[in-house]
Amino acid sequence: MSTTGDTKTKTQIRTRTPQLYKVLLLNDDYTPMDFVVDVLMRFFRKSELEATRIMLAVHHQGVGVCGVYPFEIAETKVNQVMEAAAEEGHPLQCIMEPE
Identify the pLDDT of residue 3. Answer: 58
pTM flag (> 0.75) = yes
CA distance 17 to 13: 13
CA distance 51 to 66: 9
Identify the pLDDT of residue 20. Answer: 97
Identify the pLDDT of residue 17. Answer: 86
The alpha helices in the chain, defined as continuous H runs, are 33-44, 48-61, 71-88
Domains of the chain in sequence order = 20-98 (3.30.1390.10)
Identify the pLDDT of residue 5. Answer: 61
CA distance 73 to 55: 21
Query: Which residues in the chain land under pLDDT 70?
Result: 1-6
